[in-house]
Structure 1
């Protein structure tokens, strides 16, 4: 059972505050969140935005997931997903024990193909399938990396750790995400691959974004950019450089630094025009469309929800675009539509996110916060609204 048992974020925040023996005004002062916002969030009259959650978690000296309730264990159990996490953890724990004589790994080429296929499956949001297949890939890739010690073998192992990061992040096991990123860095160094090392810094920066430590996140982006300078010039390097700028733009937006957010979006757009659509380059979904989607997200982070709605409604997502990214965009749009008073539009966006990526959407904290606020508004919404809440476990 989770440390904080209440079923909504506001109640978890209130309980954590009381355990710390803080008044609402004291917590508001410590977190730099307005007293009015804090009281409304605790009363479930206002959704807790990611920036507010991060600020409160830092002031309370606790992980953000303790306030969001992640991982959503009961729902994971209902979906038979919780039992798939421990084998991933065990497989990653074997990273440095050397060759296991009882393991007969598959050929490196076969493992490389599976690693690439699982990356694609994550983008298609087939999370349960990936989680089930991943432990055997990590075990075999670990064995062959220690046996062959070739750059290619270490790269395949690094790719398997990257997929472990993706799966655990989407299911809310944020502590295990950190382990996966450490393993990714360990394998990337042995592969002498600056591309993988810089990608790892980008992903680490996102972890610090979630915890509202924007200064550290920005330092990690800068470190990733320095590491990337060691990679040969070309399209692959440009894609990673562009993705680093997109990460920096979201960090700046969450930190309410509009100028830096716009600068990084400009640089990402410049690189995207050079690379063109590059969704399959390390499966980062980079390209002009991803820049446009990030612009919408950044506007929301800057609390310009009307601007985010206007920007997002101009975007046409093709059916061929990765479902994971499309669903995330619709979840972000739902939040902005809700904040601008468009309850029905927000619910339609939540429904579209579910249609595209049900497993990912079900465990997305922004989706749950948005739904909770729509429910609290008591607006007239379709009969399917209650069914959506039951699906989310509310």
Structure 2
């Protein structure tokens, strides 16, 4: 039953390091390294990123994630990634099918695309985006920068690039996600909406988060927050809240729990001041998302007692936000596993599965939590073994 802990141990030994030396390089305790390598404690994303950086590998390698597994686990249908890749590179030779679509028609199509993303129907979204890009390339070419029509067209292209980056990331194509991310960053200043530049900064910060470059991501968000500190309109408040929530995760994974909680408090104040809950596509400045982050902060710093305590004080239910709700249950499963209550951990995993099965089955930390639960039981229950088989944890 090979998990991240086994891979970390192998790479550590190949590097010729002791557990104490790896602990020093990743700024954690030796006992934590030992527990993770033995499979008794699920590794946090921050610890995995630190190990990946120390070993000089991609963090996904520590999970043993393969692109084919991501696609198969996340959705049974084929995602049109080749078509999306072609469309992203066809900005100077667009090939839209059918008649040219008008701006309002494309806006309606993009609103539908955002609904697919919110519902986690990523395979369908991947099929919609290529033609949206082709049509938008034509529309942008037909409109002048700086005009109202030109800025609206570029704003829609900004949305489409960000949705494309999300799809590419979901299906395990970081190179394609990087291309789309560079495009939305570049076009944001041409949309006539300064907030879109900060939305791009929020999206960019995810790259720093995944790579474990927490300080760089925090500086990026601090600059963004400074630039829009005087925005008190609902949309501006929403973007500011979204920036604070991402900053909270970066601070927590960087080891500054107090700073993380400060960012969560700031986000909550902005939400209660009237922030737009969804100021742009693929953003979430809702009270629910604030609660999810509030509960996640102590999990990131391995404070299981505080994590489950916070989880008991909130109710995370919203059919319209399955990704956020499932993520909360995944975090709570990690917390209960760290707390030593395997039954509550398994209950939380089942709750996540009911809300968003594809997300849960494809989530690497779910598999690590399951492995930790299995490692802690000499005779795993039928329920745990059944969940492990469903989640693709081998070696039972």
Report the TM-score when normalising by structure 1: 0.89
Quick check: 2:239–2:279 contact (8 Å CA) kept in 1? no
Contact 1:120–1:283 (8 Å) recurs in 2: no
In structure 2, what is the equivalent of residue 317 of structure 1?
316
Q: Distance in 1 between matches of 2:198 and 2:238?
A: 11
Structure-2 change in CA distance of 1:345 and 1:216 (3 Å): same
Q: Where does residue 163 of structure 1 map in the other structure?
A: 163
Aligned length: 387
Which structure is richer in relative contact order (CA contacts within 8 A, separation 6 or more)? Answer: 2
Aligned with 2:262: secondary structure?
A: helix
Q: CA deviation at 1:152?
A: 1.0
Alignment of 1:1-394 (within 5 A): 7-74=2-69, 76-77=71-72, 79-80=75-76, 83-95=79-91, 97=92, 104-149=99-144, 150-228=150-228, 233-275=232-274, 278-279=277-278, 281-378=280-377, 383-394=382-393
8 A Cα contact 1:242 1:271, kept in partner:
yes
In 2, the alpha carbon distance for the partners of 1:377 and 1:267 equals: 39
Q: Tell whether the 8 Å contact from 1:171 to 1:360 is kept in structure 2 after alignment.
A: no
Relative distance call for 1:40 and 1:190 in structure 2 (3 A) is same
Which stretches in structure 2 are left out of the alignment for 5+ residues?
145-149
Quote how far apart the aligned CAs of 1:179 are: 2.5
Closer/same/farther in 2, CA of residues 27 and 123 from structure 1, 3 Å limit: same
Cα 1:350/1:236, change in 2 over 3 Å: same
> For 2:50 and 2:81, how far apart are their aligned partners in 1?
29
Q: Deviations over 1:310-369 (max 9, x none)?
A: 111222233344111111111111111111112111112111212111222222122121
C-alpha distance in 2 between matches for 1:7 and 1:103: 50
- Note if contact 1:75-1:393 (Cα within 8 Å) is conserved in structure 2: no
- Deviation of 1:239 after TM superposition, in Å, equals 0.4
Unpaired runs of 5+ residues, structure 1, are 1-5
Change (3 A) 1:333 1:176: farther
Q: How far apart are 1:187 and its partner, in Å? A: 2.4
Deviation by residue 1:26-52 (Cα, 9 ceiling, x = unmatched): 333322333332233233233211121
TM-fit CA distance, 1:280? 6.2
